[in-house]
Structures are given as C-alpha cells and as structure tokens.
Amino acid sequence: MTELAPAPFPQPVSLGPDAFAGRIAFFAAATEVAAAAKARLVARYGDSPLDGARAVVSLGGDGCMLETQHRLLGRNLPVYGMNCGSVGFLMNDYREEVLLERLAESQAATLHPLRMRATSADGTVREAPAINEVSLLRETRQAAKIRILVDGKERLPELICDGVLVATPAGSTAYNLSAHGPIVPLGANLLPLTPISAFRPRRWRGALLPGDAAVVFEILEGPKRPVAAVADYTEVRDVRRVEVREDRSLSLTLLFDPDHGLSERIIAEQFTV
C-alpha cells in the first residue's frame, strides 16, 4: 500500500509584522470596488514588485483568488485574500487596518493543484494545472458516455451523464459542491470524484479517492457524443482520454486569519443549512 503524504494542516507564518513592511504585492479583481480598495491599500502600505514581495494580497472573491494563484504558479508566494466580491470562501474579511499584523499572525495552508493531460480526437495532447477541479462536460444535446479507471483498474465501465469532475480539497466547495459532491477537509488527503447529472448508473453518487490516485477518463462513442475537458480556465474540446492526478511538484500557499482557517471553513460549510 502506498504511504500517503502528511496532511497539510495550516501552520503559523512565524514572521513579525516588520517582515511584511514594503513587501506586499496587491492584486485586484476587475471591479470598481476591488480597484478602489487596492488604491487605498497601496497608498497605505505600498505595492511591492513580485520579485521583492514576501506576500501577495488578493482583493476580490474566490474567482480572483483562483486567478491570482494561477498567475503565481511556480513562485510559491503566499497569498492572503480579502473579500471584495460576492463569494469569499477562500478570503479573509476585508479590513484596511493592521494588515501587517494580520499577515504576521496568519496561518499558512499548503495546497497542490491537479494536473490534467487531455488527448484530443486528432491525437493532440495538452496539459494544464487545475487548482479547483478538472471537469468533463458533454458538448451536444446527447449525454456523454465515459469509462472511469483509477490507478489502472476499471472502476466504472460506462457512466452516462452530463459530465464528471475531480476536485481538490480547496475546490470541493466550488463546482463539486454544486454537483452535490462531498466537501473535503484540507487535511483529509482525498479527492472527490463526482458525476454531473448522472443517468446511468442512476444511484452512483461518486467516490472519495486517495490524494495520490491516478484517474483516467476514456470517452465512449466520442464522434457521436463529444466531450470537452476543462482544467479551471483551460478547455480542450473533443477529447478521447483525460488523465488527472495531483501535481506535487507545484505548491500553493494560502494565508488565513487564525479564526478563519481553510480547514475550519470547510468543516463549518458542512453544517450550513
């Protein structure tokens, strides 16, 4: 049995407020509210270039946080989000005061994105990272037919559906939750595999897979029932085979106020009615 990696529970940042002075880079969503907030914060704290930054502050909603993380892939700069949008599950409360102290007292959660490898009907192979999820979606009026393999073993010979997705723990509260998939605590080291409007098998509600699982989707009757694969922002049309697994070569660090850690938010969301 493969030994799973230790769960990435949030850890204190362990830096004093002075460590962030003049070393914060600000990103803002393309909204008037976020732009105005950035202008006020930059006037107060300055705006560091990324090469000299110790932290990035993302201003917007969860969509802005996702965009910020994609822009920073490979840099592993910690990102502290402040909610200036409509959905802020990954964001801290917006306050302009004592930002340096909040950064110093924050907790860091380390995440790893998924890696999608999609093979199109013409044989073209395209890879892309996914911080939230990799989803397969039917392209026409006809339902998709998809075979699912996990770690080389066929687990579902034929899923007839609108689509199917694999989510990260952080992404389990996004599209996965809308598709009635399970919310996964950050330290669980699990990946939700969730069908989207499954027709057959009608009672299959998905699965929870180990974090190191390799998932393969094979498209059945592709010419008749075309399927697109989407890794966050990257869409590949008319795919025939899609491989998904966690990419542990890339790390993402999110910063949260001590009373609003990501693990706590994920647990609390499961008791929201």
Which positions are catalytic?
A: 62
Q: Give residue for tokens 């509260």.
A: 173
Q: Give residue for tokens 């969860």.
A: 62
Q: For 59, what's the count of Cα atoms within 13 Å in the CB-facing half-sphere? A: 22
By three-state DSSP, how is residue 19 classified?
helix
Helices (H) and strands (E) in the chain, counts: 5, 18
How many residues are present in the chain? Answer: 273
Give residues with Cβ within 8 angstroms of 188, minimum separation 6.
Answer: 7, 169
Summarize the annotated binding site for NAD(+) as residue ranges: 62-63, 132-133, 162, 170, 173-178
Summarize the annotated binding site as residue ranges: 62-63, 132-133, 162, 170, 173-178
Q: Which amino acid is at 15?
A: L
How far is 250 from 224, CA to CA, in rounded Å?
A: 37
Give residues with Cβ within 8 angstroms of 256, minimum separation 6.
Answer: 10, 80, 92, 106, 107, 109, 262, 265
**Omega into 201 within 30° of 0, i.e. cis?**
yes
